[in-house]
Amino acid sequence: MSLYDAANELNLGFEERLKLVLLEKRERAFLINRLKYQIQLLHQVEKAKDVYHLN
């Protein structure tokens, strides 16, 4: 996931995107990893919903 993708997923405005770009590399990596984790959780929930509705 790129920094651009992370900003889009978070629905950041221009000023917020600029703040994200100006963060230290380590801080950006942490935020991107947290976002990836949250996206994974959402996908798991969607899969669980599909399985539940099929049963």
Percentage of residues in the chain having pLDDT higher than 70: 93
CB contact at 8 A, 39 and 47: no
Rounded Cα distance between 43 and 37, Å, is 10
- Flag whether pLDDT at 55 surpasses 70: no
The mean pLDDT of the chain is: 83
Expressed as residue numbers, the domain containing 30 is 3-54
Q: In which region does residue 34 sit, left (phi positive, over 0), alpha (psi from -120 to 50) or beta (all else)? A: alpha
Q: Structure pTM? A: 0.59
Residue with tokens 């942490």: 30
Please tell me the total count of domains within the chain.
1
Query: Mean pLDDT across the stretch 24-40?
Result: 86
Q: How far apart are CA 20 and CA 30, in angstroms?
A: 12
